[in-house]
């Protein structure tokens, strides 16, 4: 069974640009969550999608958005990039949403904003 895949793996952008990251969950998994990882902050929850609907949203500005497609693949978009957006963005999938389901993480997309 293939794991969670994320593309691209590495990305370099400049301030003010926008970026789209992609996540393909494990086959059969319908819930996708996104996290931002920065040094010293651990993983910060961005949002969770299930059946193409945003189920939960973390405490991030509106520049961060996402969506989920009918095949459960998900994308997240960051507009008007800032230097502080440089981070590892992780996607995790699970069979169904809810706190008690184990999430399987992808390798992440390393975003660098110059």
Partner 1 sequence: DQQVKQNSPSLSVQEGRISILNCDYTNSMFDYFLWYKKYPAEGPTFLISISSIKDKNEDGRFTVFLNKSAKHLSLHIVPSQPGDSAVYFCAASARGQNFVFGPGTRLSVLP
Contact residues for partner 1, defined by CB under 8 A: 4, 33, 35, 40-45, 48, 56, 58, 90, 92, 98-100, 102-108
Nearest to 110 by CA among 94, 88, 93, 90: 88
Q: Give whichever of 58 and 79 is closer to partner 1, judged by the CB atom.
A: 58
Whether 22 and 7 have beta carbons less than 8 Å apart is answered as yes
Q: Give whichever of 50 and 113 is closer to partner 1, judged by the CB atom.
A: 50
Residue 100: CB partners within 8 Å, gap ≥ 6?
none
In angstroms, give the least distance from the CB of 17 to partner 1.
24
In angstroms, give the least distance from the CB of 109 to partner 1.
11
H helices of the chain, in order, are none
Strands 53-57 and 42-50: antiparallel
In angstroms, give the least distance from the CB of 66 to partner 1.
14
Q: Give whichever of 60 and 79 is closer to partner 1, judged by the CB atom.
A: 60
């Amino acid at each position: 069974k293939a794991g969670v895949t994320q593309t691209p793996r590495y990305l370099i952008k400049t301030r003010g640009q926008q970026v789209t990251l992609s996540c393909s969950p494990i086959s059969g998994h319908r819930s996708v969550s996104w996290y931002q990882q920065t040094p010293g902050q651990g993983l910060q929850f961005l949002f969770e999608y299930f059946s193409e609907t945003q189920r939960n949203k973390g405490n991030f500005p509106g520049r961060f958005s996402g969506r989920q497609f009918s095949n459960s693949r998900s994308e997240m978009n960051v507009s008007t990039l800032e230097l502080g957006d440089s981070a590892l963005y992780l996607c995790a999938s699970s069979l169904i949403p809810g706190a008690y389901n184990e999430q399987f993480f992808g390798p992440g997309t390393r975003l660098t904003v110059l």
